[in-house]
Structure formats: C-alpha cells, structure tokens
C-alpha cells in the first residue's frame, strides 16, 4: 500500500536529531550509497562522483528489510514527510552580478549555495519531476549509461551530451525492487572562482565549461561528498515518526523530546511490528 502524499525515510534517532536541528536533509554522493553497483561509468565518465541523492520509499506499510538495512538493530525510526518537503527560496542573483538579468524564482536551493567558487549544481531542481521521481529497476543499467552518453569531436573541441541525464541516478538492479524507492537527485560539477562582477564575463563563460569537461573526463568530482538541502518548516512541523520495532521506552522519550523542541505538530507512534521481533 502506498500513500502518494507522503514519502518515508528509515534512519537512526541520531540522524533525526541532526535533521531537526539543522532543518536540512542530506544528499549523499552516489558512490557513497549502500548499493556499490550504483556508481556507474558511462563512456569513461564516473558519474557516481557527480550525482548526489536523497533516498526515500513511497511504500507506507512498514518494511522489515528496510528496518534491517537502514536502522541499527531495528531500533531506529521511520520519518514520514510530504512528497515535496523542501523550502522554497528565492533564486536571485546578488546585486554585484551586474551583467546577470535581474529577477527571482522559487527554488529548493538558493543561488549562493547552488553556484559557488568550487561547485555548480545543474539547476534541474526547478523542475520537480526531474528533481524527485521513483526509481526504475533493471538488470541492464550499464547499457543504459553507455547509450545515454554521446561524445563527439569537432576539430579541437570535445562535445558531450547525456540523454535523460536525471534518469541515470534513479536506476537500480531488480534485486532492490523491494525498496519501492523514491529519490531526489542533484548533478554537481566542479567550478572555478566567480569573478567579482558575476559570471557573465567572456573568459569565465569560456573557461567554466572547459573546466567542467576536464573534470568529468578526468573523474574529478566536486570537493564535497554530500550536500544538505533545506526542508520547509511546514513539512517539519507535520513530521510523522514511527519508532522501530525494537525501540525502548527511553528511545521513545528521546524522540518525543526532539519533536516537542523542533516541531509544532510532529507525531510519534509505535511500530506495527512492535512485540513481534526479538531485539538484540
């Protein structure tokens, strides 16, 4: 059974505390996730160093495999949040970017976090269908990667195109189908320092894509291994927390205290599996 209005994330109580305290959810680099086979290479490009993902499930029934995989001794928690839980922030260039057209639009990531001296996030996050979608399961992932990437040589210039780029980080082998996973994804590239007047100078516009291509082909990802994105306070205020089947009374007190401190209406409930699984 699935509730299309909520998505769920299995984790430990300490991670819940960090999420509530920071108001952010973590996107991990694809080559750092549990499934080692996800860090794929296409036409020599190690895409696992450039994709960052936040992993959820759409399945509202509790899953014993997910409790086992993502919580310690089944004594963690399951978070339930709206299917789009992010804060909408104005994506607006700073005043000193003289040559950039003024204006703003709502975004889950502010411009000063998406585009810095060290990294650039491809702004697919404006399109909610590209930012978050269900994972597809196939046993021929490598073929999909190879067919998606096209590299052409035009004189001294190398041209790279990737078809359906944001489908790639949402491919898993059929062995993982039980997760019913829903995933948010970012594609983050290394950048170079932004000139004082903004990114519209001729030299910067020429050097930035060249730098990105060199790093892609060289397999040199951005400096970070994770990226944190802000959650809306409304989503946090209505958070649903299910205690793991083997949680203790003391762990319930901790979770209740966290929700009381950081949320307006966060609720906690016991697992439907409580009392049916022997704890360690």
Length of the chain in residues, anyone? 280
The answer to whether 148 and 138 are in contact (CB under 8 A) is no
- Rounded CA-CA distance 56/9 in Å is 5
- Percent of all residues in the chain with a pLDDT value above 90, rounded to a whole number: 76
pLDDT confidence of residue 1? 35
In this structure, what token pair is assigned to residue 11?
A: 């984790």
More confident residue, 278 or 104: 278
Render pLDDT for 211-226 as a digit per residue (tens, 0 to 9). 999 999 999 999 999 9
Residue with tokens 């397999």: 219
pLDDT recorded at residue 196: 83
- State residue 98's pLDDT score: 64
Element (H, E) at 24: strand 24-29
Instruction: Kindly list the distances between the CA atom of residue 218 and the CA atoms of 43, 68, 100, 145, 210, in Å, as whole numbers in the listed order.
Output: 12, 37, 31, 17, 12
| Strand pairing category for 24-29 and 51-57 | antiparallel
Average pLDDT for 265-274: 95
Other beta carbons less than 10 A from residue 225's beta carbon:
12
Please give the Cα distance from 113 to 194 (Å, whole number): 13
pLDDT value at residue 157: 78
Q: What would the pLDDT profile of 4-20 be if each residue is shown by its tens digit?
A: 589 999 999 999 999 99
């Amino acid at each position: 059974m699935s509730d299309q209005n909520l998505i769920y994330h299995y984790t430990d109580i300490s991670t819940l505390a960090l999420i509530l305290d920071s108001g952010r959810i973590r996107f991990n680099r694809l080559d750092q996730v549990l499934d080692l086979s996800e860090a794929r290479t296409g036409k020599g490009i190690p895409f696992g160093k450039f994709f960052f993902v936040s992993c959820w499930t759409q399945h509202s029934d509790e899953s014993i495999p997910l409790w086992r995989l993502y919580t310690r001794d089944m004594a963690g928690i399951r978070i339930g949040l709206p299917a789009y839980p992010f804060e909408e922030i104005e994506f607006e260039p700073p005043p000193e970017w003289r040559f950039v057209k003024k204006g703003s639009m709502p975004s889950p990531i502010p411009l000063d976090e998406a585009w810095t001296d060290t990294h650039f996030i491809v702004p697919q996050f404006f399109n909610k269908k590209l930012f978050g979608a269900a994972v597809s399961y196939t046993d021929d992932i490598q073929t999909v990667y190879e067919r998606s990437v096209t590299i052409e040589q035009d004189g001294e210039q190398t041209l790279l195109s990737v078809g359906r780029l944001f489908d790639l980080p949402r491919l898993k082998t059929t062995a993982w189908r039980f997760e019913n996973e829903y995933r948010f994804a970012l594609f983050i590239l290394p950048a170079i320092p932004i000139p004082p007047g903004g990114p519209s100078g001729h030299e910067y516009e020429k050097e930035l894509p060249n730098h990105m291509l060199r790093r892609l082909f060289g397999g040199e990802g951005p400096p970070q291994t994770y990226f944190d994105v802000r959650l809306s306070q409304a989503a946090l205020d209505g958070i649903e927390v299910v205690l793991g089947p083997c949680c203790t009374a003391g762990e319930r007190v901790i979770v209740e205290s966290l929700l009381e401190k950081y949320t307006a209406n966060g609720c906690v409930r016991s697992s439907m599996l409580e009392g049916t699984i022997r704890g360690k």
